[in-house]
Structure 1
Amino acid sequence: MDVRSPLPWTRHLLFWSLALGGLAIDLWSKHYMFSQPDLLAHDVRWVWTGHAGFQLSLNEGALFGMGYGKVWIFAIAAIAAAIAIPVWLFILGAARDRSVTIALGCIFGGVVGNLYDRLGLPGLLWSDWDPARTGSVHAVRDFILVVRRWPPQGQFDVWPNFNIADALLVCGAIALFLLSWKRPATADQPEAAVTN
């Protein structure tokens, strides 16, 4: 029989604050950037000339454009993740670890932010972006542009455009990877009680 202490309400607060806060920032930033006339004209707005700025793009794939055109597969995977993450945390007890709660809060916000776009909820039309295409856009709205040079005096090598949801997903995934290296409690060293 598992006699673990119940999860404190602060874990719910921590998770949902990160998840919903990240989601709100992601959706607001996409809405704001995709309403800027200069960016809608396919211009680049440099913040650091030649290195970092803003440029709009629509991504029908996943991170780095992988799986291009498989929007519905990614949408279904995102729905599954949006269900699985709270179950893993709050029913299966992963929220006992504060760091895991933080990482999964970031991932959840990123998953739902990009799912919103994949479902076509922003109401964009392809004809506004590509006259050869019709119908509503079911693609992730990206706008952060980072350009790097390799070698330093070489040609531009453009990193794929991304958004806040992508940053949340990547940071959360890296955190989970690093947390997986933590040494688990042994049988003679029981798990510490959950604290706020």
Structure 2
Amino acid sequence: MTPADSDTPASTPDSAASAGSEALTGSAHSAVTGSPAISAASAIPAWRSPTAWCVLVLVFIAAVSLDLWSKDWAFRTVAPQPVVLVYEQVAGNPGYSLPWHPGVTAIAPDLLDFHLVLNHGAVFGIGQGRGPLFIAFTVLAVCTALWVFGKHTSSRSHLSHIGLALVLAGGIGNMYDRIAVGAVRDFLHLFPHRELPWGLHWPGG
């Protein structure tokens, strides 16, 4: 036996078992924590992620297009005659009334029907006649949503991006109506023939 041979430690069952245990522990740790690449990608803020912007923009375009198209469709087809809105007649005139028409059942009686209304205020018709204030509020809400997207979501927060895109689409759709029509068009009438609690009511009803 040479000196070199005597300096080399012999492999024993205990050392092999220890090495195997360390390998399994490392693999389990990687599985739980994820690879460094995935962790780094999750830490990228949304405003620096092309994918996050694509999700936000595509969902926004689809939602605002559906919103405006559905309103145009409803005001052309729900009433017996197409309803044409003139800005000068609608803007600043909360008393402006649409032609009477019966509601069209959409899903089931007393659940949802289509009934044309104009809302000069906010939800439940609150704040009638304050269009400029609501336009300013919408601009503030849009800026806030974009700030939340850029600063408080990551590149992989896709559900948050979809939700923010829907908020943006609703705000922009309503702002378009206030600027182009003079009031927000609506036609979805939930729980018709039922009274809402606390004295609230749907616009136009």
TM-score, length of structure 1 as denominator length: 0.61
Alpha-carbon displacement from aligned partner over 1:90-111 (angstroms, at most 9, x marks no partner):
3x25244323212111100100
Residues 60 and 168 in structure 2, CA contact (< 8 A), matched pair in contact too: yes
Pick aligned residue for 2:153 from 78, 84, 94: 94
The answer to whether 1:143 aligns with 2:182 is no
Distance between the aligned counterparts of 1:71 and 1:5, measured in 2?
A: 39
Alpha-carbon displacement from aligned partner over 1:100-140 (angstroms, at most 9, x marks no partner):
21211110010001011111x14xxxxxxxxxxxxxxx211
The answer to whether 1:66 aligns with 2:110 is no
Give structure 2 stretches of 5+ with no counterpart.
Answer: 1-39, 84-98
The answer to whether 1:22 aligns with 2:63 is yes
Alpha-carbon displacement from aligned partner over 1:16-72 (angstroms, at most 9, x marks no partner):
111111100000001111112427442111233343211101001111112222211
Bigger Rg, structure 1 or 2: 2
Residues 143 and 161 in structure 1, CA contact (< 8 A), matched pair in contact too: no
Identify the structure with the greater helix proportion.
Answer: 2
Distance between the aligned counterparts of 1:14 and 1:82, measured in 2?
A: 17
The answer to whether 1:81 aligns with 2:141 is yes
Pick aligned residue for 1:109 from 169, 174, 182: 169
Structure 2 counterpart of 1:94, one-letter code: T
Q: 1:10 to 1:98 in 2, by over 3 A?
A: same
Residues 44 and 154 in structure 2, CA contact (< 8 A), matched pair in contact too: no
Q: 1:11 to 1:105 in 2, by over 3 A?
A: same
What CA RMSD, in Å, does the superposition of the two structures yield over aligned residues? 2.6
Pick which of 50-59 and 94-103 moved more: 94-103
TM-score, length of structure 2 as denominator length: 0.58
Distance between the aligned counterparts of 1:81 and 1:102, measured in 2?
A: 16
Partner of 1:54: 114
Distance between the aligned counterparts of 1:53 and 1:29, measured in 2?
A: 14
Distance between the aligned counterparts of 1:80 and 1:60, measured in 2?
A: 19
Structure 2 counterpart of 1:142, one-letter code: D
Alpha-carbon displacement from aligned partner over 1:66-85 (angstroms, at most 9, x marks no partner):
22222111101112222332
Partner of 1:191: none
Partner of 2:195: 157
Residues 42 and 56 in structure 1, CA contact (< 8 A), matched pair in contact too: no
